[in-house]
Structure 1
Amino acid sequence: MTDSFPRQHARTQRFSLGDPRNVSVSPDGNRVVFLRSSAGDDPVNALWVMDLPSGEERLVADPRKLLGLADPAAGELTDEERARRERTRDGSSGITAYATDADCKVVSFALNGRLFAAGLLSGQARPIPVDGPVFDPRPDPTASRLAYVSGRELRIGELDGSSRVLAGNDPKEASTVSWGSADFIAAEEMHRFRGFWWSPDGRTIAACRVDDAPVAEWTIANPGDPSAAARTVRYPAAGTDNPIVTLHLLGLDGSRIDVDWDREFFPYIARVEWTEHGLVFSAQSRDQRGSMVVRVDTTTGEGEVIASDYDDAWIENVPGVPTMLPTGQLLTASDRDGMRQLFVDDEPVTPGDLQVRSVIAATPATPADDDDCDIFFLANDPDEPTELHVWSTTLSGEAGRLTEAAGVHAAAIGGSTIVVRSATLERPGATTTVLVDGLFDGPVIASHAETPDIDVNVTLLRAGERDLATALLLPHGFDPERGEKLPVLMDPYGGPHAQRVTSAHNAYLTSQWFADQGFAVIVSDGRGTPGRGPAWERDVRHDLANPPLADQVDALHAVAEQHDVVDLDRVAIRGWSFGGYLAALAVLDRPDVFHAAIAGAPVTEWRLYDTHYTERYLGDPTLTGPDEGAAVYDANSLLPRAAKLTRPLLLVHGLADDNVVAAHTLQLSSALLAAGRPHEVLPLVGVTHMTPQEVVAENLLLHQLDFLSRSLGLDLGGSQT
């Protein structure tokens, strides 16, 4: 008997298991390193290397053998590793992260708090018995030793197993101080997951010192186990104090130099890079309207501003920049002339009609030219936001697209080797292809991901006067010619930094399952979502409620006009995180349009969400005035709207969530109860912002289907498979 789709979807962690991930390429282009589990339902990642040009794959490190455990996931994780996986939304186990030396010949990783190293040429891995627990181990560029985080300490480990503290054991420092780790805001919102960087000669480390003392303590309890101690976390809610983050140069000889910059005005450290061309970092102001790139004098710690940017709304942190090019010039990204572009020495090097999404790498020019280099980046045409392509450009701005098929592409690059991961609408999953010297028929890295038991029946279209990128999914076997109308399920995310409408098959699997139960499912990306240009993203400034909701309504009505299969008298909406906020908002503000909603882990009161994200869009809640501060936050909160609820609403929340804490749902539920408004609450015990637990993930889908059936008065005769 085959699994139902909800079971297969949960068992395979949304069909992500068994697929190659965390791909990197050696600088000489001869080795491709990656993680992969052995099957589509195996969560335990092992470390692999592919030798080029032969394309032979070799297993370098198997966690089960290294730990002597049949289930490495059963081992104890450090608090830092557990937090890192939550920030990266990683539900797998085994080797989930690794680091290499400069030549990509030696690799290090942590397993259950223990340190391991492997030679990528020999293919041999071994434990290194240093003092632990070990988190984020990284070889120095010369592969002579390693550095790692252990609790509050940054430590140096030698290959013979000896280790010593580099920073973090000063008895004068408070217990709130840690060295070498990324703080919550950096990891959750700036996607900076590390807190230390080796110098090219391996003699010094640039390290972040984080003092959480100013940050308010919040308590996350486990109501399912009254005997379990509550967990205390430091959570920087909007308008409150952030941690104090400073940068320091730590010599292996025991020296310490404090890096000096205008930290009071630019407190956020968004990115740090140390190459042969110097140590640079980008800093951002608290209101995120200003940013600067600072070059550090590594003998004095003095910071020199070498680039700056300002925006009336906010500066977007673009992954991969700023970075020093092989030529020694600085590559930055900025929103100018209505588009996000790359700049070298303040001159654009990317086409003005492309929206740059991230920088992949910069390599010496091919053919060799000491005065030029090749810059690889991801970008999309704002007129086709459902696609994402790999591009390259030179210092003279000679740009070209490397990927052709309509789809969502990503890449890793080293030397003349490019590894491209491509997902399209035409086939499930993704294909990871190695291109050597520009050849497009190179070896393919095998994927063990399972093939979904359902196919998607999706139509991509543009909806409404704003040409909203929209997907319509209908049940398999449904014949529009019969004149039958289907109940509607809107299935958006609808907010910043995430797209739901893409040219990728697996993006629609859950939506298709709901469609096959008897719905017309509509997925639409409105204002605030990425890919349509800076102005589109900034349309939600100070208003995360009205533009996103108006666009969902417009998409619904536009689809109804184009496809005479939509029953506007039976419309539901579901979403998670920002999508949960949008779903609850829909039945509160537009009950004339939406007849039921499922809100998963919704942000209901923006004062309870973190500083960096919330203040970027809504400003500082402590200000006063009709167009700022408290007035803006009140206008975007769901709590004052509670008395307006007249439609069925299901609130779902993981009680262990430390990102969107359960207080969001509990406070809205309390306000609804006080207003006499019936609703349903589904608490998920032990579940965080993710739902990686197989049984929970499976039955959560089934429960949502039951709620929709009851709320819309449907007799869903679907197979639920």
Structure 2
Amino acid sequence: MDAESADCKLSWSELKNVVTDLRRQLSSLSTMVPTNVSFRQLHDGRTRIYFLSTPQNGWESTLLFADVPNENPNASLTLQWHCVIESNFPTVSASIRYSREEQLLWERKRLATWGINWYEIHSASGKIVFPANSSLFQCIDNGYSAGPLFPTKLRISTASGAKLNPQICPSNPDLVAYICNQDIWVAHTVSGCNERLTYAHKGGRNLADDPLCAGVPSYVMQEEFSRYQGYWWQPTCALGVYRILYEEIDDGDVKIFCFPSSQSDPSGEVEEFRFPRAGCANSKSYLKLIEFRISDTQQITDIVMLELQFSVNTLFPWTEYIVRAGWTPDSEYIWVQLLDRRQKHLELVLLSLSNFTEVLPMYDEGTNSDIGNPMVQVIYAEESCAWVNVHDLLVFLPGASDNQVQFIWASEETGFRHLYLVTAQLMPYTNGISEPMDHVSLHPKLLQKVALTHGDWEVLAQDIWVDVEREVVYFMGLRETVLEKHLYVVSLRRPGEVRLLTRTGYSYQCDFNDECSMLVTVYSNIENIPACQVFKVTHTDWTVEGVQLTPLGYLLESGPPLNKKYCPDLFTHTIESGHTLYAMVFKPHGFQQGKQYPTILNVYGGPEVQLVSNAFKGMRQLRMHMLAARGYCVVAIDSRGSQHRGIEFESYLRGRMGTVELVDQVEVLKWLASSLGYVDLRRVAIHGWSYGGYLSLMGLVQHPDVFKLAIAGAPVTNWMLYDTGYTERYMDLPENNQQGYDEGSVLNYINKFPEEENRLLIIHGLIDENVHFYHTSQLINSMVKAGKPYQLQIYPNERHSLRHLDASKHYETTLLSFLQNHL
């Protein structure tokens, strides 16, 4: 289909065929990029790399491996992919009706619903565990097997309900913990012994009477803080005692909402969800500990449930969220990150194991000598005038002297996220009789805090890799340009000396093995589809200049250059405020110089997202490519408030979402039109999903002279209806910013929507549990009362993402039809 197609009116049936044809044509943009990479050293010195991808001629994701030879590195070698699992293993079954818990986990993690989308491997033993078909499966890769393995189902709980989030015990791979029906279970995979460890959830049909769960983070923790883990194995087993730290969630104060059940549910009943709207009660979170032993007959015995003597909420009454938790590598301490409700104050706290007890003691005078010194110590505190961006950049280092702890941490105190080497003092251990509060320190005692990186650029929030022996830290950052993610290294011995390890002109994703001796990197740019290369990491000396990357081969070679019509152009513009903004423009495929084209502004515009970068725009941008193929010019702009530009740039939206974003979008759009000459400003549609759907509505209200049409997908219409974690971070609590909530509500601008027909199309999944359909129903109810025209497309069986192929194709046909008929 060429660019002339935009001016050619097609019937619905013809457009359906166009969508099918375009999906087939655009399949060349789909790449089998390895994800979820793990490393394992084999007996003969080879390194085996495990990853998830889609094998050639396959259609669903599976677990694969490639072996890296231990000698004679060959930079041009293409490493052979092998299936870990037999190809006829049924990862998808038509007879399986997936549980709501599985569906919601896929939504929170943004995972695909077909094939294997997650696995866990125990490197020393080769044991692999993964969820599929609502159950758990295992296999053992001994490193010698010539063919693929056929997994066996774990002998686990016979209780109904999906088995989710399995974790192999680090010190004993025979033990696998998992979640079933909102509680933690553990299985001994050799003896077949299964034990339910927690009894928080009753499993009743009445949600109101069953508010507790164990090992499962709250909705807000998963959706807004990207923590999907609610229990943590102790790294080592001491004296035969296994321990699991876990989080118990009490949703009793969180309001219940009812949605229509999915169409795949034959009961036709409503689904109940707990959802904390802005300003309302959140889930309560409690840290607890389980201890158990393994008998001589490999049975799970001596299960003990322990609770904190000093609860987090007692010592830190300001705490609203436990955003991160885990164990120190030596298993001596539990660490937690605590965040207040307004998300401006965060503390990193160490808890000794003696904080946990079976029975809360009564502290009468003279009876507290066997408390066991339950140390509670704040080792770091963070403040922000905007908000604290929670990250995963925390590594505890071994070898600190007595009564000290040393760790690598990231802070945005300079306005940009950077790495710091922190040394904090711990309270001395005493054996004498003492008061309980003698072992509580609520103020960090920092002995040293050294900036490892600095500058007006950002260290990315997800991964750092520390080579403890050589005292170097590898990390991802944006020092060269905000448009490219690169790998860097810095030495703990020479802080501030940062060395770039990857090539400019590309954007990278990286994974290291535990020893930091091997690296897998996926890289691409705007014109080249992703390639995946393996490198050996060596050192000529202890400095960052001594780090050497030797190519060992490719997991995925870069393909031939794509047709330029699939490659958008990148643009830079300095707006009136003095800020530099970036834009991306997809030309119509049949582009002709001197002609103006109808244009789609594809908008997101909210925080935590960057649309424009020098990375390949593949199937994730399917609809942008589809529109360009149909003869539309497609524009995407990262306005102030977007990600990776520092806290000041991001906080442009603070307290005033929906009132300022479109000023930047329109200014850059008009600049592009005047600079390029082929953007037809008389025919511009604004289209987006979620926050982008919200701004699409606001665009038609605030700039009806600029946007002829708006297509709003799953739009927020009133921030009072959205969740606490996201909304309050950027808008504060409603009681502190009522004006901002009022001005940011689409519902307060109904009279400003145009009177002309066919200018507004709203699209929403009926069972969307993220942006509830109630947002749209409130909007259309107000539109009806005001006599305003609109079109509405509902997908009864879809949540926030359109996951079914038939719904996606119907939506794309609807989009093309609306645009061709009215733009």
> Common fold, TM-score beyond 0.5?
yes
- Residue correspondence of structure 1 range 394-473 to structure 2 within 5 A: 394-395=491-492, 396-397=494-495, 398-414=497-513, 415=515, 416-428=517-529, 430-437=530-537, 438-446=548-556, 455-465=565-575, 466-473=579-586
CA displacement 1:633-667 (0-9 Å, x = unmatched) = 11111001111111611100011211111111111
Contact 1:460/1:470 (CA < 8 Å) preserved in 2? Answer: yes
Aligned to 2:227: 192
Q: 1:616 to 1:461 in 2, by over 3 A?
A: same
| Distance across 2 between alignment mates of 1:467 and 1:394 | 32
- The amino acid across from 2:510 in the alignment is A
- Contact 2:457/2:645, CA 8 A, preserved across alignment: no
Whichever residue aligns with residue 617 of structure 1, its letter is: Y
User: Secondary structure in 2 aligned to 1:546?
Assistant: coil
Cα pair 1:47 1:62 within 8 Å, conserved: no
**Residue 90 (structure 1) aligned with residue 111 (structure 2):** yes
- In structure 2, how many angstroms separate the alpha carbons of the residues matched to 1:514 and 1:312? 41
Q: Which residue identity lines up with residue 308 of structure 1 in the other structure?
A: A
SS of the residue 2:552 aligns to: coil
Cα distance between partner residues in 2 of 1:379 and 1:5? 38
| 1:271 and 2:315 matched | no
Which deviates further from its counterpart, 222-231 or 106-115?
222-231
Matched with 1:167 is 198
Provide the rounded CA distance (Å) in 2 between the counterparts of 1:297 and 1:534.
34
Structure-2 separation of matches of 1:441 and 1:9: 35
Whether the aligned pair in 1 keeps the contact of 2:534 and 2:554 (CA below 8 Å) is yes
Q: Alignment partner for residue 214 of structure 2, among 175, 179, 183?
A: 179
Matching residue within 285, 288, 306 for 1:245: 285
Distance 1:111-1:548 versus aligned 2 partners, 3 A rule: same
Against the structure 1 CA distance between its residues 578 and 333, is the aligned structure 2 distance closer, same or farther, given a 3 Å change threshold?
A: same
- Residues of 1 paired with 2:559 and 2:270: CA distance? 37
Where does 1:213-292 land on structure 2 (aligned, <5 Å)?
Answer: 213-222=252-261, 228-252=268-292, 253-259=302-308, 260-261=311-312, 262-277=315-330, 278-292=333-347
Classify 1:479/1:662 alpha carbon distance in 2 versus 1 (closer, same or farther; 3 Å). same
1:87–1:188 CA contact under 8 A, matched in 2: yes
Contact 1:25 1:412 in 2 (8 A): no
Checking the alignment, whether the CA contact within 8 Å between 1:283 and 1:291 is kept in structure 2 is yes
CA offsets 1:543-572 (integer angstroms, 9 cap, x no match): 111221111111111112211222222211
Does 1:344 find its partner at 2:421? Answer: yes
Residue of structure 1 in register with 2:177 after alignment: 147
| C-alpha displacement of 1:13 | 9.6
Contact 1:185–1:610 under 8 Å retained in 2: yes
State yes or no: 1:393 paired with 2:477: no
Q: Which segments of 5 or more consecutive residues in structure 1 lack a partner in the other structure?
A: 713-721
**Mind listing any 5+ residue stretches in structure 2 that lack a counterpart?**
2-15, 71-78, 293-301, 357-373, 401-405, 423-448, 538-547
Aligned residue number for residue 650 of structure 1:
761
Identical aligned pairs, as a percentage?
Answer: 27
Matched-pair contact (CA < 8 Å) for 2:48–2:68: yes
**How much has 1:227 moved relative to structure 2?**
5.2
Q: Would the aligned equivalents of 2:26 and 2:622 in 1 still touch at CA under 8 Å? A: no
C-alpha distance in 1 between matches for 2:170 and 2:773? 43
From 722, 727, 730, the equivalent of 1:614 is 727
* Cα distance in 1 for residues equivalent to 2:87 and 2:275: 33
Q: Does 1:516 align with 2:634?
A: no
Q: 1:600 to 1:169 in 2, by over 3 A?
A: closer
Q: Does 1:569 align with 2:682?
A: yes
| Correspondent of 2:806 among 695, 702, 714 | 695
Moved more, 580-589 or 556-565: 556-565
CA–CA distance in 2 between the matches of 1:183 and 1:375? 33
Q: What's the counterpart of residue 308 of structure 1?
A: 381
State the AA in 1 paired with 2:591: F
CA distance in 2, matches of 1:39, 1:613: 40
TM-score by length of 1: 0.90
Counterparts in 2 of 1:286 and 1:598: CA distance versus 1, 3 Å: same
Going from structure 1 to structure 2, the CA distance change for 1:436 and 1:5 (only over 3 Å counts) comes to farther
8 Å contact 1:457–1:512 — kept in the other structure? no
- How far did residue 408 of structure 1 move? 2.7
Rounded Cα–Cα distance in structure 1 between residues aligned with 2:803 and 2:689? 14
Amino acid at match of 1:138: Q
How do residues 347-386 of structure 1 correspond to structure 2 at under 5 angstroms? 347-365=450-468, 368-369=469-470, 372=471, 374-381=472-479, 384-386=481-483
- Contact 1:691–1:697 (CA<8 Å) still a contact in 2? yes
**1:151 and 1:458 mapped to 2: Cα distance?**
47
Matches within 5 A, 1:63-102: 64-65=88-89, 67=90, 71-72=92-93, 75-101=96-122
**1:91-126 deviation digits (Å, cap 9, x = unpaired):** 232321122336473221122232222223346433
In 2, Cα distance between equivalents of 1:14 and 1:540:
38
Q: Equivalent of 1:296, from 342, 351, 361? A: 351
1:715 equivalent in structure 2: none
Q: Looking at CA atoms only, which structure, 1 or 2, has the larger radius of gyration?
A: 2
Q: Secondary structure at the match of 1:35?
A: strand
Distance in 2 separating the partners of 1:103 and 1:214: 44
Tell me, what secondary structure is at the counterpart of 1:539?
Answer: helix
Q: Is the Cα–Cα contact under 8 Å of residues 473 and 489 in structure 2 kept in the other structure?
A: yes
Q: 1:499 aligns with which of 591, 597, 610?
A: 610
Q: Does 1:22 align with 2:12?
A: no
Distance 2:114 2:69 in 1: 30
What's the offset of the Cα at 1:183?
A: 1.5
Q: How many residues were matched structurally? A: 693
CA distance 1:693–1:172, change in 2 (3 Å): closer
Cα RMSD (Å) of the superposition? 2.9
- SS of aligned partner of 2:617: helix
SS in 1 for 2:482: coil
Map Cα deviations across residues 255-277 of structure 1 (whole Å, 9 max, x no partner). 23324324531221211222424
**In the alignment, residue 551 of structure 1 is paired with which amino acid?**
D
Aligned partner of 1:53 in structure 2 is: 69
Deviates more, 1:309-318 or 1:276-285: 276-285
Matching of residue 672 in structure 1 with residue 783 in structure 2: yes
- Equivalent residue letter for 1:380: L
CA distance in 1, matches of 2:482, 2:98: 39
Cα distance in 1 for residues equivalent to 2:64 and 2:599: 45
**Structure 2 residue 156 is the aligned partner of structure 1 residue 130:** yes
Instruction: State whether residues 135 and 149 of structure 1, in contact with CA within 8 Å, keep that contact through their aligned partners in structure 2.
Output: yes
* Corresponding residue SS for 1:544: coil
Deviates more, 1:673-682 or 1:456-465: 456-465
TM-superposed CA distance for 1:455, in Å, is 4.2
> Structure 1 counterpart of 2:155, which letter?
P
| Contact 1:107 1:118 (C-alpha < 8 Å) held by counterparts | yes
The aligned amino acid for 1:51 is: D
Contact 1:292 1:308 in 2 (8 A): yes
Residue type at the aligned position of 2:329: E
Question: What is the CA distance between 1:448 and its match in structure 2?
Answer: 12
> Mean Cα displacement is larger for which, 293-302 or 210-219?
293-302
- Give the aligned residue type for 1:707: F
Shift of residue 187 of structure 1? 0.9
Q: 1:537 to 1:9 in 2, by over 3 A?
A: farther
- Give the counterpart of 1:546 among 659, 682, 694: 659
- Would the aligned equivalents of 1:49 and 1:120 in 2 still touch at CA under 8 Å? no
Q: How far apart, in 1, do the equivalents of 2:303 and 2:602 lie?
A: 55
Task: Tell me: CA distance 1:462–1:170, structure 2 relative to 1, closer, same or farther (3 Å).
Answer: closer
Residue type of the partner of 1:58? H
| Structure-2-length-normalised TM-score | 0.79
Mapped partners of 1:451, 1:239: distance in 2: 52
